[in-house]
Amino acid sequence: MNLISVGLAVVAAAALVGATAGALAQARTRPLVAGAATAVVGLGGVLAGVAALGGQTWSLTIANLLPLAETTFAVDALSGAFLVLIGAVAITAGIYSVGYTSPGGAHATDEDDAAPGHDEVVAHDGVDAHDDVPGPAKAAASRTAQAVLPLFAAAMLLVPAAASVSTLLVLWELMALTSLVLVLAEHRLRRSVRDAGLWYAGMTHAGLVAIMLGLVVLAAGAGGESFAAMRAGSAGLSPATASCVFLLVFLGFGSKAGMVPLHVWLPRAHPEAPSHVSALMSAAMVTLGVYGIIRVGFDLLGGGDGWWWLVVLAVGAVSALYGVLQASVAADLKRLLAYSTTENVGLMLIGIGAAGVFAAEGNRVLAGLLLAAAVLHAVNHAAFKALLFFGAGSVLRSTGLRDLDRLGGLVSRMPVTTALFAVGALGAAGLPAGNGFVSEWLLLQGLIHSVTGATAPSVVVALSMPLAVAVVALTAGLGVATFVKAFGVGFLARPRSVAATGATESPLSMRVGMGLAAAACTVLALAPAVAGAPLGRLLDVLPSVRGGAPLARSDVSLRLAGIAGSMSPLLIVVGLLVAALGAAALVRRVTRGAPRRATPVWGGGSTRLSPRMEYTATSFAEPLTRVFDDVLRPEKDIDVTPFAESEFLIASISYRQRVPDRVEARLYPPLLAAVGRWGQWSRGIANGSVHRYLAYGFIGLLVVLVVVGITS
């Protein structure tokens, strides 16, 4: 029995049943039905993915399902890795959504949101005491949202199984439309949701056009639209055609992945979507962009030229640095996590780009290691980012707040959420004992050995790889600062609002979903060697890196194959625990018998500490804002209000700081203005004349015939 076919059958059946039941069920049972169906969809995906990584393959062709084309599916080890990733996130999101969409909790519905595209921080001469936390928002539990949720999960799972251009494009569009519906779930509550949906729809469909153009050109040159035909015929493409195909699909898939400068939808859509949807999009959907780049570049095009991958490497470096910089100064918790996704996608692209460079030079060992590091980082990112968005959703449901400057004190009010968020933050920061540390270590090992290896590196490698190492190191350092800020200010500090003071722990299903994601982070952090064999099978699918097994077999240590390098995360954690316990025992022994007395905490001359005396997220990030002022260009405004009796006596001071997205502010307004002008011009040529329309068609046909005659 082929478990892949069984798993995908479960995916399709559970999605259809869940969508129907979600649309028909009563409001009281709707969250349970939709959440359970989504979890079963994810379970089917995990089953199929594990079977594929274990060595099974599967294919299916349906003749008359789509007009003018066959519907073709095929699953190999590369597909299997992303099936496991997406399926696991869907399981946790389905369980989590039951509690998140059930009655209870608080959701902010403020119509006066900060303008989209930047963070706005307002610091007053005092602590907010006027938080009006409304009742629970019902939008995420509506019939439409609950019916679409399992369909979205199923569409994501079927994308890696698609094996023809038509099948991939249909499933890609289904994934885009279902996710758009979920992003717009709360459009009646906030204007910013509608704006985010508009940006997301525009960017995702522009990406679809680029993907479609690239794959159509590839299919025409290869003589068939199935992946098997494209794989066999891609060698006959001219270098210019192959390069055109790769750049188009890189732009299309990269827009879905959230790479700079096509990332602008991501910090808009993720904060406004329901939190379990944000987790599905950020942890699972964006990685399908990474999958598409690997599938087309390394598989269908056979590796290609080295300069392709230098472009990928450069875009990845810019995305990683820009994403982590924006995250480090963000005060909106979900916006911070969205920019963190851009950062981590950048790290994946660095690994993919470097792997492509080495594959073009014939170094399969380093190419395999770096590609394995990129895929493993995608898996790690899915685990900790899902957990972090779940934690942010737990805070939002309880307090109605996303602003770190108005949170605090949650460690005593939401202890389970705090502990689980800490696990995710540890992974995202890339510190030892976190799962992100493992894949970032693999990435650095591959980049460093490219320069310090036994053979002399080429000029391209000698120039690009040290810069990549510097980017990864700087990104890791800023990532630590980012999540120390998010966790310390948001969870450990004193509460700065009435809503934070009244926070309560989340429902059981939400804690279970977060617990499963935390367990995945822990396993990936302490026992990453279990990924060695699956990663080796994944690389065997790709011709240009086949045979470059990245990891040697080991029980505890992570040992590299072909180059010197090993690391044991489990031993590192044990060593840290022993050191911490030893230090605590030493302090206890030294202070034994010493007199103890209770004294007030020093507070700068005051014996009563208040939230005004502690760091906010804005003040914590202020040094970084100053250092990177030329990149971030923050906009600041101070309002001083004097008393009516005298202008020399200050009644209040209000400080506002906005950190706009400079890429968006510089690139997109001129582009949108040009599109608007083109739209106005196009109205003029559409005057209703049938004769003119026939002339347009005739001229277009002549242009196509001329182009075909020149290029054929």
pLDDT in tens, 424-444: 999 999 988 899 999 999 999
Model confidence at 81: pLDDT above 50: yes
User: To the nearest whole percent, how much of the chain has pLDDT over 90?
Assistant: 50
Q: Which long-range contacts (CB under 8 A, 24 or more apart) does 532-539 make?
A: 534/53, 534/77, 534/80, 534/81, 535/81, 535/372, 535/375, 535/376, 537/53, 537/55, 537/77, 538/53, 538/77, 538/78, 538/80, 538/81, 538/372, 538/375, 539/368, 539/371, 539/372
Mean pLDDT of 509-523: 94
453 conformational bin, left if phi > 0, alpha if psi -120 to 50, beta if neither? beta
Look up the pTM and report it.
0.90
Shared domain for 420 and 512, answered yes or no, is: yes
Shared domain for 314 and 459, answered yes or no, is: yes
pLDDT band at residue 683 under the 50/70/90 scheme: confident
Among 523, 522, 513, 514, which Cα is nearest to 421's?
514
**In whole angstroms, what is the distance from residue 621 CA to residue 608 CA?**
26
How confident is the model over 321-348, as pLDDT tens digits?
999 999 999 989 999 999 999 999 999 9
Shared domain for 566 and 677, answered yes or no, is: no
Q: Is the dihedral of CA 693, 698, 701, 707 positive or negative?
A: negative
Q: Last residue of some domain: 583, 610, 637? A: 583
- Tokens representing 524? 């990936």
Residue count (the chain): 712
Mean pLDDT of 104-131: 44
- Tokens representing 493? 């500090």
pLDDT for 119: 53
- 569: how many CB neighbours lie within 10 A of its CB? 23
Q: Which residue has the higher pLDDT, 582 or 690?
A: 582
Model confidence at 12: pLDDT above 60: yes
Among 105, 233, 162, which Cα is nearest to 499's?
105
What does the DSSP 8-state code read for residue 414?
S
Shared domain for 473 and 339, answered yes or no, is: yes
Contact 668, 264 (CB under 8 A): yes
Shared domain for 326 and 431, answered yes or no, is: yes
Of the listed ranges 140-149, 163-172, 340-349, 579-588, the least confidently predicted one is: 140-149
pLDDT for 364: 86
Shared domain for 384 and 505, answered yes or no, is: yes
pLDDT band at residue 167 under the 50/70/90 scheme: very high
| Residue 69 within any structural domain of the chain | no
- Tokens representing 294? 């690997």
Shared domain for 579 and 686, answered yes or no, is: no
Could you give phi then psi for residue 141, rounded to 5 degrees? -105, 15
| Residue 320 within any structural domain of the chain | yes
pLDDT for 515: 95
Q: Last residue of some domain: 583, 612, 644? A: 583
Shared domain for 549 and 691, answered yes or no, is: no
- Tokens representing 127? 């602590």
Q: Last residue of some domain: 566, 583, 600? A: 583
Mean pLDDT of 48-76: 89
Model confidence at 293: pLDDT above 70: yes
pLDDT for 647: 76
pLDDT band at residue 105 under the 50/70/90 scheme: low
Residue with tokens 């290869």: 222
Model confidence at 384: pLDDT above 60: yes
Q: Which residue has the higher pLDDT, 683 or 214?
A: 214
Among 419, 423, 519, which Cα is nearest to 88's?
519
How confident is the model over 687-702, as pLDDT tens digits?
777 888 888 889 988 9
| Residue 445, domain extent | 310-583
> Which run of H or of E encompasses 658?
strand 650-660
pLDDT band at residue 285 under the 50/70/90 scheme: very high
Q: Say if strands 650-660 and 635-642 run parallel, antiparallel, or are unpaired.
A: antiparallel
Shared domain for 565 and 417, answered yes or no, is: yes
| Residue 617 within any structural domain of the chain | no
Mean pLDDT of 126-153: 64
Q: What is the mean pLDDT of the chain?
A: 86
How confident is the model over 212-236, as pLDDT tens digits?
999 999 998 888 899 999 999 888 8
Model confidence at 511: pLDDT above 50: yes
Shared domain for 442 and 323, answered yes or no, is: yes
pLDDT for 48: 95
Contact 500, 401 (CB under 8 A): yes
**In whole angstroms, what is the distance from residue 162 CA to residue 173 CA?**
13
Total domain count, the chain: 2
**In whole angstroms, what is the distance from residue 375 CA to residue 79 CA?**
12
| Residue 603 within any structural domain of the chain | no
pLDDT for 608: 66
- Tokens representing 440? 């970032």
| Residue 602 within any structural domain of the chain | no
pLDDT for 133: 33
Model confidence at 137: pLDDT above 60: no
pLDDT band at residue 128 under the 50/70/90 scheme: very low
- 684: how many CB neighbours lie within 10 A of its CB? 7
What does the DSSP 8-state code read for residue 613?
G
Model confidence at 129: pLDDT above 60: no
| Residue 481 within any structural domain of the chain | yes
* 3-state percent breakdown (helix, strand, coil) of the chain, nearest 5: 70, 10, 25
Among 661, 666, 665, 668, which Cα is nearest to 120's?
661
List Cα–Cα distances, 477 to 325, 339, 438, in angstroms. Answer: 11, 15, 15
| Residue 500 within any structural domain of the chain | yes
| Residue 211 within any structural domain of the chain | no
Shared domain for 333 and 467, answered yes or no, is: yes
Shared domain for 698 and 563, answered yes or no, is: no
pLDDT for 190: 81
**In whole angstroms, what is the distance from residue 486 CA to residue 536 CA?**
36
- Tokens representing 177? 């439309």
Would you call 256 helix, strand, or coil by DSSP?
Answer: helix
pLDDT band at residue 548 under the 50/70/90 scheme: low
Would you call 636 helix, strand, or coil by DSSP?
Answer: strand
